[in-house]
Amino acid sequence: MSNEITQVKGCEFTTDELQRFHHYYKYDWAAAGLVSAPVSKRIQHFVETVDPGIDSNRLQEWLHTMGIVEESEKSEQARLYERFEHFDFAAAVGFNQMLADVYATDDVSKHGVGERMDQAKAQYYSDNIEPLVYSEYKEYKEVNAPKPVCPYQDLWDPKGADKESADTNKFANVRTIDIAKLLDPDNVDVLTIGAINLFIDAAKTAYDQKYFAVAVVNSRCNGPEPMFLPALSSTGDCPATLKAAMRLQIELRNLNKTKPLVFFANGVVDTSTLGILMSTVDIVTSEMFCVSIGSVSQSSQKFPLSALYDWAHLSNHQAKVSKGTAEYIMCSPDLVLRSAEWSTLGLGIGFVSHRKFASGMEQILLAASCPPPHTRDALRKACAVESVYSGPSKINVWEQEISKYFAPLADGKTVLELADELRAVKAPWAEKYVVFANAKESNNVAKARVAGMQRVRGLEYSQALALELSAAIAWAAGTTEETKLFSRNIPSLSDLLSENTHATPEPQRNGALQSEVAGECPFAKMYRKNPERFKHVNLGSIADHHSLDL
């Protein structure tokens, strides 16, 4: 083992010493019964039972370098600042009233928001707990910050290491709905009608005025492929399950009109439950997020028509997407949407790495505790602060092909006509599409999706939902012909939903059943309801008009 001095500026310990010291640091003190023991007792135990050859004085010197000292050696000032740093501000009565000032400016840099947050915490702590001067605290932290002189520091104290799960219970002003607690313990891989009804009941409780925001999480998002929102159950009474899922979407959209609704999607979302997720655009994702929306996926074969209205009106979201993008997504054989694509489409508000997801969630939920009318703005700014670049989007790469080949699908071109055109394109992606378009099952899915989007673009929201639901029920019963799925006779949505035995939906909670998605332009809504009213307007001159940032 080398005794060579490490080539790190300011490091006074040899490589041999540092390796031994890190063995001490990573030692299992719980197994030795010394978790709460003072440093001196730990050193004594380690020298006597683990490494008799270690220099205890040098070890103690190294611990001092890293800022690890005996409690008795700490100054009263150090103890004060430790109490301040360990104080639970999320549960502090009245602290959330100060959050509006933290997010009041346009500066959403991590440094700027962090400094304003620390100032607010120091002011609250000094006013309500014990005297503390922020400028003195900041100076103390700068002077006493541990020096990064150890070449092995990233091994024992990795930067950005996160807790395993967020503590959502301490945010009293945020109604947290945990999907994991709604699922059937014996069937956690599907969303049953019972789980959906529990979801609806939980959403109804969130209207309470004590809640400023609603967060949907899944505490079981762990493992290499964590599941955030599982597939709808395809066993039993399939129509009842589809109706329950539709009622849940309506409930969540109505709820989102009264207060911010944010999904922390740190895992896989099944295609069949996309309508539930897309009840809001306030969605935070990680690299674990994905949706296998391709027409050949198993869930797409069972429930291909989820969120048709949202896909048909993709341009209503904040991202400016090319015409035909929705058709490209709906007709791609094996497309998997990940966080980069989700952000590109304007369907989310932030990306936080899986490694830091729990701590990032807590920071965002703290901002969501800010009282109305500042809640939504504070939440979105907190998302901007915690977010990082999600990576390049696959969709951007295909913009030219989307505009040339898939945009005509929105104007009436058929799936098979596109396949005929692509036969002349000598490219692997085109050949893959031709094979898929000529396969019966995937062809049926693609045709139904394209026809469905064409149909719902001319309908107001409640009519579109009714058509989507009736088509989904017909598909589950074996009907695949698009002309039968999307007939001109649109059933009443309230009549469809009232057939369910669970609680009656409440479309009048905020007036008539919402006829727009979150952030939808009100002029677009009025045009769909009554096109004749706008026949004198040159729509070409306002072609670039986009949705409001609500």
Domains and CATH numbers, the chain: 168-494 (3.90.226.10)
**Three-state SS across 489-508?**
CCCCHHHHHHCCCCCCCCCC
CA distance 496 to 507: 13
Q: Most confidently modeled of 204-213, 215-224, 515-524, 539-548? A: 204-213
Phi and psi for 295 in degrees, rounded to 5? Answer: -65, -15
Q: How does pLDDT run across 167-205, given as a tens digit for each residue?
A: 888 899 999 999 999 999 888 889 999 999 999 999 999
Q: What percent of the chain has pLDDT over 70?
A: 82
Among the listed residues 239, 302, 232, 307, the one whose alpha carbon sits nearest the alpha carbon of residue 270: 232
DSSP structure string for 116-182 = HHHHHHHHHHHHHTS---HHHHHHHHHHHPPP---TTHHHHS-TT---SS--GGG-TTEEEEEHHHH
Supply the angle between the helices 440-456 and 415-422 in degrees, to the nearest 10: 120
- Give the number of C-alpha atoms closer than 13 A to the C-alpha of residue 208, restricted to the C-beta side: 13
Look at residue 404 and tell me whether its pLDDT is greater than 90. yes
Look at residue 537 and tell me whether its pLDDT is greater than 70. no
- Give the number of C-alpha atoms closer than 13 A to the C-alpha of residue 168, restricted to the C-beta side: 20
Least confident of 127-131, 288-292, 460-464, 533-537: 533-537
| Helix or strand run (H / E) with residue 284 | strand 283-285
Phi and psi for 350 in degrees, rounded to 5? Answer: -175, 155
- What pLDDT, on a 0 to 100 scale, did the predictor assign at position 511? 35
Look at residue 67 and tell me whether its pLDDT is greater than 50. yes
Phi and psi for 345 in degrees, rounded to 5? Answer: -80, -5
User: What confidence category does residue 19 fall into, taking pLDDT thresholds of 50, 70 and 90?
Assistant: confident
Q: How does pLDDT run across 254-269, given as a tens digit for each residue?
A: 999 999 999 999 999 9
User: What confidence category does residue 151 fall into, taking pLDDT thresholds of 50, 70 and 90?
Assistant: low
CA distance 380 to 374: 10
User: What confidence category does residue 535 fall into, taking pLDDT thresholds of 50, 70 and 90?
Assistant: low
CA distance 428 to 421: 14
User: What confidence category does residue 13 fall into, taking pLDDT thresholds of 50, 70 and 90?
Assistant: confident
Look at residue 502 and tell me whether its pLDDT is greater than 60. no
Three-state secondary-structure class, residue 38: coil
- What pLDDT, on a 0 to 100 scale, did the predictor assign at position 545? 45
Q: How does pLDDT run across 216-252, given as a tens digit for each residue?
A: 999 988 777 899 999 999 888 899 999 999 999 999 9
Look at residue 451 and tell me whether its pLDDT is greater than 60. yes
Reported pTM: 0.77
Omega prior to 148 cis, within 30 of 0: no
Structure tokens at 511: 């007036």
Average pLDDT score, the chain: 84
Among the listed residues 445, 516, 523, 458, the one whose alpha carbon sits nearest the alpha carbon of residue 485: 445
More confident: 210 or 5:
210
More confident: 533 or 276:
276
The tokens 């669970």 sit on which residue?
A: 502
- What pLDDT, on a 0 to 100 scale, did the predictor assign at position 220? 87
Phi and psi for 187 in degrees, rounded to 5? Answer: -150, 65
Query: What value does the mean pLDDT take over residues 279-283?
Result: 95
